[in-house]
Each structure stands twice: as C-alpha cells, then as structure tokens.
Amino acid sequence: MLPQPRHALRDGRPRLPLRLCRVLALLLAAALLSACSARVFFYNRLDFLIPWYIEGYVPLDRDQEDRLEALLDPVLAWHRREELPRYAALVDEVRRLTAADPALPDVTELAADIEVAWYRLRDRALEALLGLAETLTEAQVEAFIAELRERQAEYEAEYLPRTDEEYREDALERLEDSLGDYLGRLDDGQEQRLAVAVAELERIDGEWLAVRAAWIERLEEILAKEPGWQERLRASVRDWAEWVPESYIAGTNHNSAVVLSAVTDVLAQRSERQQARLERELAALERDLGKLMVPAVPSDTRAP
C-alpha cells in the first residue's frame, strides 16, 4: 500500500512539514536522484555539507558543531551501510522495468518504495536533530523561527502571485527537465502528454504555504521546550497527516497519480536513442552507488 500522502511536485511540497529533517534529504538526493557524476564527491562530503546547511538556519557554537558531528556520524554510517544497497536495488528494478514498457502499477510501486526510503531517512534524521535541538538556546530558537518566517515570506512572494497559466508553465518545465535528465530531448508527442497532465493538476501551492505557516507556528510552540517537547515533536512529524487539511492531502495524492501516469506514458513513447541514454544514466548511477557503498577512508577534510 502506498504511504499517504505522496507529493510529486515542488509546489506541493514539503513531503513532510519539518524543515529540520529536510537537511538529511541531501543524502537521498545525492545517492538516488542526482544525475551528475559529482554525486560521489558530494555524498562523501556530507559530514561537512550538512552542518554548513544547518548553519544557514541557525548559527552553532563550536560545542554544538561537535555535538552535531557526533550525532550525524552514526546516521551517515547507517545510510551508507543499509540504505545505499536498497537504493542500488531500486535502480536495478528501474533498469529491469525499462528494458520493456513498464506498466503504471509497476511505476506506482517503485514510487512507493522511494517514498518508504524517505520515511526511513526521516525517522533516523529526526532523532539526530532532536539531539541538536536540545542544545539550542532561546536566542538560537528565535533566530531559527525568524529565518523560517523570512523564507516563508519569500516563498509566498514567489508562488502566490502566479496566474494559473504561469503555475502550469512552471510545472511543465520541471517535468520536462526531470525526464530530460534521463531521456534527453523529448519529442512532440511526449511533450504533449506532459502538457495534458499539467492541465489536470490541482493547484495546491496556496495550501502548501498554509501548511508550512501552520508548521512554523507549531514548531515555535514545541521548541519552547516545555516538558515532553521531544515526544510532541516526534508525534507532529509522524502523524502530520492528522493535522493538515484533508484537501491538501487529496490534492497532493491527485497530482502524484497524474504525474505517475504521464511518466509511464512518456516512457512507453521513448525512442531507441532515449532508451540508450536512459540505460547509460542508470548504469552510471549504479556505478556511483557501488562506489559509495564502499566504506570511506577516514578523512581530515572536516570543517575546522
């Protein structure tokens, strides 16, 4: 059964309403979703990049940096040891499916497997980040919430003024770019299929922003650190579908189904040249995952 809810498009994000957890999605993106050969270097530098990313939201002192490093080390080791082989198996499944024409149920099941991988990562990441949150001062929490609100205002200014036509143009561009990474240039028939899909999307960027604003309010209250705050944070993340509007969940699920159907149809229309490119890209991804699964040699490249 597919986990609920699913989120296929950026305007329907976040997959989870927890900004802190998004930092470790870098792991998944680097290992599974990136299309460039630099992913091996990127992944092997996560011990440096993740703290740098977090400090974009809240400055940490040296003791907190050391604590974050200690909290992340076992997460990164677990991810390399247990998750990367699972990602390799997913890539192998993609190669098997695309050797012929995958059916929609196959593509849907694959998307569900990727979503489950995200939830496993979310749960591990949350525990590590809770350990860091325990050390945040009141001033740091205030700075963190202020940064979230500033970015909220930026998102609202970027997305809300769009017309419906602009919304769909943006969605179409992202879909074409995402598929183009693996298939190369799409033909007229494939582009038309995506255009039909985009016309069927429900516009949920306003609801996404409302959910995000509500999450910031909830997070601010939780990070006041009244007794039991850690479990309230865990519950808010784990059970978030219980406090977001049903219309938002329905919209994201609808959009996911529309996109998966369109992707399946585009794959069915692929040319021999596109198939060759797809095979090359998947082979490169498989090779990179093989390199990443090898335990890294200890490095002195951590941030000073």
Higher pLDDT, 82 or 293: 82
Contact (Cβ atoms closer than 8 angstroms) between residue 123 and residue 79? no
Which sign does the torsion angle of CA 268, 273, 279, 284 carry?
negative
HEC readout, 198-217: HHHCCCCHHHHHHHHHHHHH
Which range has highest mean pLDDT (5-9, 36-40, 220-224)? Answer: 220-224
Q: Is the pLDDT of residue 299 over 80?
A: no
Q: Kind and range of the H or E element at 228?
A: none
Nearest residue to 29 via CA among 38, 16, 20: 38
**Would you state the pLDDT for residue 125?**
87
Q: How many domains does the chain have?
A: 1
Answer whether residue 9 is part of any domain: no
Find tokens 């390399």 and name the residue.
80
The whole model's pTM is what? 0.81
User: Within a domain: residue 206?
Assistant: yes
Helix, strand, or coil here: 73?
Answer: helix
Q: Is the pLDDT of residue 13 over 90?
A: no
Q: Which two tokens stand for residue 217?
A: 């309010």
User: 70 in a domain, yes or no?
Assistant: yes
88 is a domain residue: yes
Contact yes or no for 220/145 (Cβ under 8 A): yes
Residue 256 belongs to a domain: yes
Confidence tier at 238 by pLDDT (50, 70, 90): confident
- Asked if residue 22 is part of any domain, the answer here is yes
Q: Is 299 within a domain?
A: no
Encoding tokens for residue 47?
């011990």
Tell me the C-alpha distance between 30 and 288, whole Å. 10
Joined together, the tokens standing for residue 28 give 């998944």
Pairwise CA distance, residues 227 & 13, whole Å: 31
Mean pLDDT of 82-94: 91
* Residue 232 CA neighbour count, 13 Å, CB half: 13
Instruction: Please provide residue 6's backbone torsions phi and psi, each rounded to the nearest 5 degrees.
Output: -105, 150
Q: Which of 42-51, 98-107, 193-202 shows the lowest per-residue confidence on average (mean pLDDT)?
A: 42-51
**Range(s) of the domain holding residue 225:** 17-290
Q: With cut-offs at 50, 70 and 90, classify the pLDDT of residue 41.
A: low
Q: Are 148 and 19 in contact (CB under 8 A)?
A: yes
The per-residue pLDDT for range 140-171, each reduced to its tens digit, is 999 999 999 999 999 999 999 999 999 999 99
Span 103-117, average pLDDT: 89
Please provide the average confidence, as pLDDT, over all residues in the chain: 83
Confidence of residue 188 (pLDDT cuts 50, 70, 90): very high
How is residue 17 annotated by DSSP? S
Amino acid in the structure at residue 47 = D
How far apart, in whole angstroms, are the C-alpha atoms of residue 25 and residue 6?
16
296 in a structural domain? no
What's the rounded Cα separation, in Å, for the pair 131 and 291? Answer: 30
At residue 38, the pLDDT reads 58
